[in-house]
Amino acid sequence: MKQGSRHRFYLHEAERENMPGPDTCGDFMPFYHQGIFHLYYLHKYCVYEVLTTDFVHYGEPRMAIPCGSPEDQDWHIGTGSVVEREGVFHFYYTGFNESYRDTPGKHEQVLMRAISTDLIHWEKDASFHVAPDTEHYGGLHWRDPQVFWNDQEQEYWMAVTATEKDADHNRGGCTHIMKSSDLANWRAGTAIYAPGTFATHECHDIFRMGDWWYMVFSNYTRWWETRYRMAQSPKGPWITPAVDDMFDGRGFYAAKTVSDGKNRYLVGWQAFRTGMDDLKPYQWGGSTLVHELVQRPDGTLGVKPVQALEDSYRKALPQATVARRGTWTVENGIRGREPFGFGWVEVARMTEACLVRAKLSWTPETLACGLMLHTEGERLEKWCQVRLEPSRNRVIFDRSNKFDGDQQFVEERYVPLAGEHEAEIKVITSGNIVVLYVNDTALAARAYDYEPGGLGLFVEHGEAVFTELDIME
- pLDDT tens digits for 332-386? 999 999 999 999 999 999 999 999 999 999 999 999 999 999 999 999 999 999 9
SS3 308: helix
pLDDT averaged over every residue in the chain? 92
Confidence (pLDDT) at 5: 34
Q: Are 218 and 256 in contact (CB under 8 A)?
A: no
Burial of 71 per CB tally in 10 Å (0-12, 13-18, 19+): exposed
pTM of the model: 0.93
Interior CA angle at 201 toward 200 and 204, to 5°? 155
Question: How far apart are alpha carbons 415 and 243 in whole angstroms?
Answer: 9
Provide the β-strand partners of residue 289.
Answer: 268
Contact 287, 272 (CB under 8 A): yes
Q: What is the CA radius of gyration of the chain?
A: 23
* Confidence band of 312 (pLDDT split at 50, 70, 90): very high
The tens digit of pLDDT for each residue in 203-226 reads 999 999 999 999 999 998 877 899
Q: From CA 198, how far away is CA 212, in angstroms rounded?
A: 23
